[in-house]
Amino acid sequence: MERLLVLASSSPWRRQLLERLGLPFLCHSPEIDETPLPGETVKATALRLSEAKARALAGAYPDALVIGSDQVASLHDRPIGKPGNHAQACQQLAAQSSQVVDFHSGLCLLDTASGLCRSVIETTRVHFRPLSESQIERYLQAEQPYGCAGSFRAEGLGIALFERIESRDPTALVGLPLIALCGLLKEAGMDVLDLTGPAQPSA
């Protein structure tokens, strides 16, 4: 019997990525505290929050596969948050100019029937171009990515800020590593390539 698949996220970008697999799924936004714990590494934060998001929906979906994902960015091992406003975004991009920023994408697949949780983390290294003040200003005016960690949207014009990207999975930077997810789904008995038929719209 095909299992119910639930994406624990309100992100339109994660939803669009999951739609690529052609599987029917539901979206449900979890309510969790995303504050890092004292002394917690950025990788540990990403893994913990991805699992917390999935577990937050376990009561609502007692027999489902729930996908939780969270991303934490870091520069010189220090976390980078969402700028929230133009001035902070200018500071972030200026600090990232000519630098390497790591994006740690935690991924969890929770089987709510058994309680089994499968987790992985994918790290993407982004090498930024040297950026002038005028380039930063023009970019921010164009996309206003004030709700995005690192102050850019890689799926948009933000790609022009980079010299190169090092990643095992090109979808990880956007926030949902599909290669890893396909592996976790297969382990859980849902092989994406064995499921046939037209994709159904997500709810």
Q: Is 3 exposed, middle or buried (0-12, 13-18, 19+ CB in 10 A)?
A: middle
Q: How many CB atoms lie within 10 A of CB 136?
A: 20
Considering the candidates 63, 70, 77, 194, report the single residue annotated as catalytic.
Answer: 70
Annotated active-site residue 111? The verdict is no
AA identity, residue 197 = G
Active site residues: 70
